[in-house]
Amino acid sequence: MVPLLAGGLVAVALGVYGRVHTPTGFAVGPAGFSGPLAMKAWLTTGAFLLAFVQVGSALVMYGRIPVPRPPAWIGGLHRWSGRAAFLLTIPVAFHCLYALGLQYDVARVLVHSLLGCFFYGVFVAKMLALPRRGLPAWGLPVLGGLAFTALVGLWLTSSLWFFTAIGVRL
């Protein structure tokens, strides 16, 4: 219960901060990108692609993709692709929260804001659940699946929108 409560608190805290904080309109410089939206779209796309590595490696680790001998490096691939995906989301989340805040006047943006809060809440719950003994066998896969689903939703409501509405550019 502790990981779920902590994750819920993180999600709510991010949402409350995003709502009560006065957006600055600027947070992260878009080093190497044409602007902050392009930076967010490309970093989220990187995390989105790494999320598929996460799912594939988890399926191999849990025996859902049968391989004669799972490679010894599959656990490392899972851990490092997850770390990299999470790190790619940090400047995006910082910019979204600090510069834009939680917005609710456009349905796509509201869904995106809520998914962002949910993603970090689920991530915290999953990380806190990892070292716990006695966790049901389905616990980590469910939390991982929720994090994956939230990240896919974030990509659909941000990067895909950017690439289709604005265009593909760095």
Tokens of 44: 């989220």
Percent of the chain at pLDDT exceeding 70: 96
Confidence (pLDDT) at 30: 67
* Pairwise pLDDT comparison (7 vs 135), residue with the higher score: 7
Assess contact for 92 and 154: CB atoms under 8 A.
Answer: no
Q: Give the integer Cα–Cα distance in Å for 5 and 9.
A: 6
106 Cβ contact partners less than 8 Å away, ≥ 6 residues apart: none
DSSP for 42-68 reads HHHHHHHHHHHHHHHHHHHHTTSS--S
Cβ neighbours of 110 (radius 10 Å): 14
Instruction: Reduce the DSSP state of residue 167 to 3 states and report it.
Output: coil
Assess contact for 75 and 62: CB atoms under 8 A.
Answer: no
Percent of the chain at pLDDT exceeding 90: 49
Residue ranges of the alpha helices (H) in the chain? 2-20, 36-61, 74-95, 107-129, 139-157, 159-165
Q: What average pLDDT does this structure show over 135-141?
A: 85
pLDDT digits (tens, 9 = 90+) for 41-88: 999 999 999 999 999 999 998 888 888 888 999 999 999 999 999 999
22, exposed or middle or buried, with CB in 10 Å at 0-12, 13-18, 19+? Answer: exposed
